[in-house]
């Protein structure tokens, strides 16, 4: 894995939640990028204000350090996502038995796959994580500011 922000955030989040390597799968960068593209197409494709979307430190080629994140589509209310409490996913995933994808915003980052039961009991720290399953019918987005839920299980 690469030594950068997303990896440090992932490792910190995994440690804080006491998640061991046998409880998740690490995705390679091409698979992670493919999932990010599909997530964008599924959840924020209608956002016309592209300037508020993804510009991370790894892809943004400018001397000005103004970064943007895909979850801004929700915080700017360009997508009708629900703002929810941090324990929302714990309740929503009761009895839900599927593997979930967890993605971090930054380019060159590795996504993770883990069971919904593990995710259901996680603490949400000061990191931005996009969570969804292989149906792409819903997403839960944890940010350093708010938590958003879009569409329905």
Q: So what's the pLDDT on residue 89?
A: 85
Residue that wins the pLDDT comparison between 6 and 26: 26
- E strands of the chain, at which residues? 25-26, 82-84, 99-103, 112-115, 129-132, 138-142, 147-151
Look up the pTM and report it.
0.88
Q: So what's the pLDDT on residue 60?
A: 66
Report the share of the chain in percent with pLDDT over 70: 91
- pLDDT-derived band at 119 (thresholds 50, 70, 90) equals very high
Closest CA to 131 of 62, 39, 45, 9: 39
Minimum mean pLDDT among 54-58, 61-65, 81-85, 86-90: which range? Answer: 61-65
Does the pLDDT value for residue 109 go beyond 60?
yes
Does the pLDDT value for residue 59 go beyond 80?
no
**What does the DSSP 8-state code read for residue 63?**
S
Percent of the chain that is helix, strand, coil (3-state, to 5): 30, 20, 50
Does the pLDDT value for residue 1 go beyond 50?
no
| 101 within 8 A of 10, measured Cβ to Cβ | no
Q: What is the C-alpha to C-alpha distance for residues 95 and 141, in angstroms, rounded to an integer? A: 20
């Amino acid at each position: 894995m690469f030594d950068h922000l997303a990896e440090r955030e992932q490792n910190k989040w995994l440690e804080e939640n006491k998640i061991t390597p046998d409880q998740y799968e690490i995705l390679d960068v091409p698979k992670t990028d493919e999932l990010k593209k599909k997530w964008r197409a599924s959840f924020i494709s209608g956002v016309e204000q592209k300037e508020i979307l993804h510009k991370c430190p790894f892809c943004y080629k400018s001397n000005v350090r103004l970064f943007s994140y895909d979850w801004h589509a929700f915080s700017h209310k360009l997508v009708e996502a629900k703002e929810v409490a941090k324990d929302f996913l714990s309740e929503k995933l009761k009895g839900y038995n599927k593997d979930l994808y967890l993605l971090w915003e930054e380019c060159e980052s590795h996504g993770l796959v883990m069971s919904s039961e593990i995710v259901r009991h996680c603490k949400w720290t000061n990191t931005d994580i996009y969570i969804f399953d292989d149906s792409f019918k819903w997403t839960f987005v944890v940010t350093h500011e708010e938590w958003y839920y879009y569409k329905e299980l």
